[in-house]
Structure 1
Amino acid sequence: MSQNSPAVEVREVELFERPVTLRLPFKFGAVTLRETPQLFVRARIACGTGEEIGVSAELLAPKWFDKNPDLSNEDNFEQLRTSMRIAADLYQEAGRFSSAFALHAGLQAAHYAACTRNNLNGLIASYGTALMDRAVLDALCRSQGQSIFQAVQSNLPGIDAATTPDLYGTDIAAHLRALPAPERIDVRHTVGMADAITEAELTSRVDDGLPESLEAVIARYGHRYFKLKVGGDTSADIERLGQIAELLDRSTADYRVSLDGNEQFADAAAVVDWIDAVESVPALARLWASTLYLEQPIARAQALEQPVHAIAARKAVAIDESESHVGVFPVARAFGYRGISSKSCKGFYRAILNAVRARQWNAAGSGGDYFIIAEDLTTQPGISVQQDFALAALTGATHVERNGHHYVHGFGDAPLAEQQRFAKAHGDLYATGADGRVRLKIENGSVSLKSLHGPGLAVAAYPDWDELSAVSQPI
């Protein structure tokens, strides 16, 4: 633990929601998302000798944390609310801990056990602690007048190997000091399976002033990085990838893509067969050569039960949905995976510790280039996207998937006064349109992170709390 880590105590937690309606349907895997609530956390924290307010926010995204088709979207929302309520209660009842990380580490087992008793899987359990930890970190940073970048590099939270026995003996503080604090990051644009590729495909339009096809997205934002969803149906995937390749090959001088399988393949052999088919198509040669990695192609139930070395020999493979707890990366590594995702909804400390692991393995020359991939879950402008940008940047990722600004119109239905507060506080990150609505400012395919370097966890403005709905206990 760092010598400068103040003791912390969570004294009050309030939970709120706001509905979010998508401007375009987002199809990933077998799911098409059109609306979902966003959850907000406001917590009062005792940090050292004083008190501070800390905040966090995340969508209650259906059909990702638990893909059971027998559950409705509302069932999925309530699963995540339950995880959040359990975490909020535990953190409020825990009393004083020697550091923010000690609080996290000390409550992790109890939280997972309580979630298990409520039939909630590891990813859902991660959601509750992820939001609580970010709220605590936000308050801690404010109390010390530090940005999250300064705080992590100096180990203000007191991060140690308490949750990661494989890192015992590692100089974690030295790795934290070496983590980056960039002022810009590239944005990797998501191409959902229902998205129009060209303007000519659009038979009807939203006509809200924002791009509705990949062609228009590139023209407006200048992206160089793209995340392409695939469905595991080889012929359908090849046809769609061919349409995308035709556009990218002629419209972008240099580009890179990631391919997201969203657990649509039964096993490694099916993925290898799919790769064979893709490599046999001349029109996909440049796109395949530009592919950085494959993301979670195999269903989570099988992904960590079979080696993927045959896939990795062709293209690097990364884990996402299978990361149900902080111990997954070393296990995945043994099976041949080289990457793992950073998602704020899975845990801030988890992503940072995975970045430490990757740095350590690479420095030791352990037979592979291990890396962190920065992925999105339709994070929304304001608290959620800002905190996720900061985390992605700290892990060393040079590009991050961003899709919330494309599938949702800016701040959605948030009051204009709230939008303007964020635009004023983070003028480098947001732009205000002629209609007064505030949107993410992407220029030449990247965004500025300068305003995220102020005190706190990347947040210098707050929502209109009175306009949000309080999250009640279940009936």
Structure 2
Amino acid sequence: GLSRTLQAPLSEVLRNNLLGINLGRIYPELEGYKPSDLLPTTPLRKITARHTVGLGDPLRDGDIDQPLNDGLPHSLEASIQAYGLDHFKIKLCGNLDRDQARLVEIYSVFKQAASGPFFLTLDGNEQYQDIEAFRLHWDQLRQVPEINSLLEALLFVEQPLHRDHALDAGVKQALADWPEAPPLIIDESEAEIGSLSQALELGYSGTSHKNCKGIVKGIANACLLEFLKKKFPDRSYILSGEDLANVGPIALLQDLAVMSLLGITHVERNGHHYFRGLSMLPEDLRTTVLDHHRDLYRKHEDGFPTLRITDGKLAISSVIEAPFGFEGEIDAGRFVSLEDWDGII
């Protein structure tokens, strides 16, 4: 890529607009602006890990039927204690009884295991067909005292509506009729350039960034939301950072590099939780990761690199100083090609 060719960090590439991004071509209201005009002047050197609480994830050690015994925390309780977590992303299934019971249990775990204040987001997982259905579910959830207390820590709700209906015209009136609605953002619905503008017009607060949705689009989205924050300071605008089980040594680091540049202070992280660190990599590549990114990774007692989360945070100085996240060389030819992998699966 350009960063590696120039041996320049991504922050320098963007600051000098070496990618040639024309924001006005994406969002007309940004005509004349460069990314450096609207993005943070310096990238973040620490990012808070927002821990995924999946629908099937055990909440306490006592809930584990089949222990993994992989030397890493398995339950939510153990993860909080091991990593000092205070930011969480909780998945909803859309079934009221199941969601109520699970949220009450999660609140109990937080109260027992968290050492201080905690913050959370909810992922609606596209479980609702319209705002009215989600509003009914939401109001019933809030009738439970423990859940009402839990939701005092809520930052936003991600993609409650199915992607087929999330950007329907009727959403605008439904949200206008619900002034006490929690902040809502889209994720899966941001399928093309212009989806964010459409969502904002309907009453959503923003969208998510994932590198797989497009880095340039994410940069443009961040610039648009910063522009709107300055123009309409009384309205809430959100660009979140979400995950798709990113793992190192490439995808995770590149993702963190972009999140840092966009100024996203907390990011959903789950690759370290659903995989056994970088134990699947060849020994020499494990060594390269530890040599170049010891702030982000530590050597596990069993010898493999695993993510270093301290007080709930990831230290990423080595990531933002490297050419696009990863400092080191990888011979891609030693791995299975995408074409061959498609044949395997």
TM-score range, shorter chain: over 0.9
CA distance in 2 between counterparts of 1:278 and 1:284 reads 7
Match of 1:53 in 2: none
CA distance in 2 between counterparts of 1:403 and 1:173 reads 29
Deviation digits for residues 31-65 of structure 1 (CA, Å, limit 9, x no counterpart): xxxxxxxxxxxxxxxxxxxxxxxxxxxxxxxxxxx
Task: Note the C-alpha offset of 1:336.
Answer: 0.7
Kindly provide the amino acid, as one letter, of the partner of residue 275 in structure 1: W
Match of 1:11 in 2: none
Task: Note the C-alpha offset of 1:435.
Answer: 1.8
Match of 1:197 in 2: 59
1:285 is aligned, of 125, 148, 159, to 148
Tell me if 1:414 matches 2:281. yes
Match of 2:306 in 1: 439
Contact 1:163 1:326 in 2 (8 A): no
Contact 1:312 1:337 in 2 (8 A): no
Contact 2:35 2:220 in 1 (8 A): no
Deviation digits for residues 99-127 of structure 1 (CA, Å, limit 9, x no counterpart): xxxxxxxxxxxxxxxxxxxxxxxxxxxxx
CA distance in 2 between counterparts of 1:355 and 1:179 reads 13
Match of 2:104 in 1: 242
Kindly provide the amino acid, as one letter, of the partner of residue 404 in structure 1: G
Tell me if 1:448 matches 2:315. yes
Identity %: 31
CA distance in 1 between counterparts of 2:251 and 2:292 reads 15
2:125 is aligned, of 253, 262, 267, to 262
Kindly provide the amino acid, as one letter, of the partner of residue 92 in structure 2: V
Contact 1:431 1:440 in 2 (8 A): yes
Match of 1:62 in 2: none
SS of aligned partner of 1:301: coil
Match of 1:388 in 2: 255
Deviation digits for residues 175-220 of structure 1 (CA, Å, limit 9, x no counterpart): 2453540111100000000000011111220111111100000010
**Residue ranges of structure 2 left out of the alignment (5+ in a row):** none
Change (3 A) 1:311 1:197: farther
Deviation digits for residues 297-328 of structure 1 (CA, Å, limit 9, x no counterpart): 00000000022345663210011000011211
Match of 1:151 in 2: 13
Q: What is the root-mean-square deviation of aligned Cα atoms in Å?
A: 1.8
Task: Note the C-alpha offset of 1:339.
Answer: 1.9
Kindly provide the amino acid, as one letter, of the partner of residue 438 in structure 1: P
CA distance in 2 between counterparts of 1:281 and 1:362 reads 34
Counting only pairs closer than 5 Å after superposition, residues 343-382 of structure 1 correspond to structure 2 as 343-365=210-232, 367-382=234-249
Match of 1:276 in 2: 139
1:427 is aligned, of 268, 278, 294, to 294
Deviation digits for residues 144-173 of structure 1 (CA, Å, limit 9, x no counterpart): 332111221222211113541433434234
Match of 1:61 in 2: none
Contact 2:47 2:314 in 1 (8 A): yes
Kindly provide the amino acid, as one letter, of the partner of residue 236 in structure 1: R
Contact 1:410 1:440 in 2 (8 A): yes
Tell me if 1:178 matches 2:54. no
Task: Note the C-alpha offset of 1:470.
Answer: 2.2
Task: Note the C-alpha offset of 1:467.
Answer: 3.1
Match of 1:220 in 2: 82
Change (3 A) 1:273 1:325: same
Change (3 A) 1:392 1:309: farther
Deviation digits for residues 382-423 of structure 1 (CA, Å, limit 9, x no counterpart): 100001011112222110000000001112421122111111
CA distance in 1 between counterparts of 2:55 and 2:198 reads 30
Give TM-score scaled by structure 2 length. 0.93
Structure with more contact order per residue of length (Cα contacts < 8 Å, sep ≥ 6): 2
Contact 1:255 1:290 in 2 (8 A): yes
Kindly provide the amino acid, as one letter, of the partner of residue 180 in structure 2: A
Change (3 A) 1:268 1:412: farther
CA distance in 2 between counterparts of 1:256 and 1:205 reads 28
Change (3 A) 1:299 1:455: same
CA distance in 2 between counterparts of 1:310 and 1:416 reads 58
Counting only pairs closer than 5 Å after superposition, residues 333-348 of structure 1 correspond to structure 2 as 333-348=200-215
After alignment, is 325-334 or 294-303 more displaced? 325-334
Matched residue pairs, number?
Answer: 337
After alignment, is 390-399 or 443-452 more displaced? 390-399
Contact 1:230 1:237 in 2 (8 A): yes
Counting only pairs closer than 5 Å after superposition, residues 107-126 of structure 1 correspond to structure 2 as none
Tell me if 1:207 matches 2:74. no
Tell me if 1:299 matches 2:158. no
Task: Note the C-alpha offset of 1:262.
Answer: 1.1
1:400 is aligned, of 252, 267, 284, to 267
